[in-house]
């Protein structure tokens, strides 16, 4: 569905944008692939790999999702928008709360308005596992953004623009995450907040594949939740830095012991599929049963919750070493 389409990705110079561009340019024939970001140096660095001569569809567009007028200019003629721009670092968002709101919430509202007014056909936004039952500002801002994107389907008018959300776990090897900090560190000690801590994990390639699959299947209004394996943070440290000592620093402000991607309250409107869950807007029991029959999804039982500590799939230290050894990202 991406052939001969004009596709724009906000935050296009981030970890996801890099992998998304590589996958789309290799697999499809888009008329244009526009990388929209405020990172001038990031665009310069990506241009060394994805230059316009080798990849004629590529376009680089400097702009910020906070800038409503710039988005209106960038969205002119665009068919599909993937919204990946966000402030993501939990400590930074805690220390600069208003900046997180401006980008993650008001920026999302600007994307919605520009998409509807410019006639974009499909918008899929990247969420976070931290948006479910948030305990930090980053998660709260992403939950608010999720609500905005789902509600946007009510304002689009006749389904002319469809909005959906994707939610998945921590991306292995993403820029600024735990894996690069361990591998690039020269220190003999690695900090650990709590030995019991668990997380959902997914590779960049898997994240892009998940978004592409949901982009083709979306009907508007869904929060798609990827089924990811869990891992224990201490297993990751032991796998990547077996000779380092561990400094137990305690849970930091805004940090969870375990992650949740489908809450018990959301489970009432959630269908389970082979590789994902789909959370729908508030529906009564009859409506969700009808959705279940139409889409061949299984209704989640009462009291269900998709949590990293009670997950059925787990990554062992050996699995983690194998995954990290195959990572090919420029910041490792």
Report pLDDT for 329: 58
The Cα–Cα gap between 32 and 319 comes to 37
CA 36 – CA 75 distance, rounded (Å):
10
pTM of the model: 0.92
pLDDT above 60 for 167: yes
Average pLDDT, the chain: 90
Would you place residue 332 in the very low, low, confident or very high pLDDT band (cuts 50, 70, 90)? very low
The pLDDT, as a whole number, for residue 322 is 87
| Residue range 212-267, pLDDT digits in tens | 999 999 999 999 999 999 999 888 888 888 778 888 888 877 788 999 999 999 99
Query: What pLDDT, on a 0 to 100 scale, did the predictor assign at position 330?
Result: 56
* Residue in 231, 235, 287, 223 with CA at minimum distance from that of residue 261: 223
Cβ atoms of 153 and 160 closer than 8 Å: no
Distance of alpha carbon 17 from the chain centroid: 11
**What is the separation of C-alpha 249 from the centre of its chain, rounded to a whole number of angstroms?**
28
Residue environment code for 33-59, b if the CB has 16+ CB neighbours within 10 A, otherwise e: bbbbbbbeebbeebeeebeeeebebbb
pLDDT band at 169 (very low <50, low <70, confident <90, very high): confident
Has residue 331 got a pLDDT over 60? Answer: no
Q: Is 10 helix (H, G, I), strand (E, B) or coil?
A: strand
| Residues facing 247 on adjacent strands | 191
Q: Residues 88, 130, 142, 256: which is the catalytic one? A: 130
Answer yes or no: are the C-beta atoms of 33 and 81 closer than 8 Å.
Answer: no
In this structure, is residue 241 part of a structural domain? no
Domain-embedded: residue 188: no
Task: Provide the percentage of residues in the chain whose pLDDT is more than 70.
Answer: 94
Tokens read off for 48: 């060394």
Determine contact, residues 87/138, Cβ cutoff 8 Å.
Answer: yes
Angle between helices 15-27 and 204-217 (to 10 degrees): 60
Query: How many structural domains does the chain have?
Result: 1
Average the pLDDT over each of 89-98, 155-164, 175-184, 227-236 and give the range with the smallest value: 175-184
User: What is the percent of the chain where pLDDT is above 90?
Assistant: 68
Quick one: pLDDT band at residue 140, thresholds 50, 70, 90?
A: very high
* Residues 6+ away with beta carbon under 8 Å from 157: 116
Q: Match 């590529």 to its residue by tokens.
A: 58
pLDDT in tens, 259-308: 999 999 999 999 999 999 999 987 666 776 777 778 888 999 989 999 99
Contact 222, 164 (CB under 8 A): yes
- 53 found inside a domain: yes
pLDDT in tens, 44-86: 999 999 988 999 999 999 999 999 999 999 999 999 999 999 9
Q: Is residue 137 part of a domain?
A: yes
Distances (CA, A) of 102 to 99, 107, 138, 175, 196: 5, 6, 12, 22, 34
- Mean per-residue pLDDT, 87-114: 96
- What's the domain range around 136? 6-169+202-227+260-307
Is residue 186 annotated as a catalytic residue, yes or no?
no
* φ, ψ (nearest 5 deg) of residue 78: -75, 140
CATH number at residue 50: 3.40.50.720
Confidence tier at 199 by pLDDT (50, 70, 90): very high
């Amino acid at each position: 569905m991406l052939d001969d389409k004009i596709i724009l990705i906000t935050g296009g110079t981030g970890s996801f944008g890099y992998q998304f561009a590589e996958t789309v340019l290799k697999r499809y024939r888009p008329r244009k692939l526009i990388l929209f970001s405020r990172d001038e140096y990031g665009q310069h660095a990506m241009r060394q790999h994805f230059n316009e001569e080798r990849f004629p569809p590529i376009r680089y567009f400097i702009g910020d999702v906070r800038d409503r007028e710039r988005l209106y200019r960038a969205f002119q003629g665009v068919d599909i928008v993937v919204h990946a721009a966000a402030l993501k670092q939990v400590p930074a968002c805690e220390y600069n709360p208003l900046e997180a709101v401006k980008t993650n919430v008001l920026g999302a509202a600007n994307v919605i308005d520009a998409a509807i007014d410019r006639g974009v056909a499909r918008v899929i936004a990247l969420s976070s596992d931290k948006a479910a039952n948030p305990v930090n500002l980053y998660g709260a801002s992403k939950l608010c953004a999720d609500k905005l994107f789902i509600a946007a389907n009510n304002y689009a008018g006749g389904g002319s623009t469809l909005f959906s959300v994707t939610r998945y776990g921590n991306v292995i090897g993403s820029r600024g995450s735990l894996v690069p900090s361990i591998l690039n560190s020269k220190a003999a000690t690695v900090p650990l907040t709590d030995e019991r801590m668990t997380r959902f994990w997914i590779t960049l390639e898997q994240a892009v594949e998940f978004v592409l699959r949901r982009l083709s299947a979306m009907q508007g209004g869904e929060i798609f939740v990827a089924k990811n394996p869990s891992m224990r943070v201490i297993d990751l440290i032991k796998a990547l830095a077996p000779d380092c000592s561990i400094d137990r620093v305690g849970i930091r402000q805004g940090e969870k012991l375990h992650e949740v991607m489908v809450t018990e309250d959301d489970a009432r409107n959630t269908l389970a599929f082979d590789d994902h869950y789909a959370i729908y807007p508030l529906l009564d029991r009859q409506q969700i049963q009808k959705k279940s029959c139409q889409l061949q999804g299984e209704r989640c039982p009462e009291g269900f919750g998709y949590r990293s500590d009670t997950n059925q799939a787990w990554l062992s230290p050996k699995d983690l070493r194998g995954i990290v050894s195959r990572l090919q990202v420029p910041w490792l």
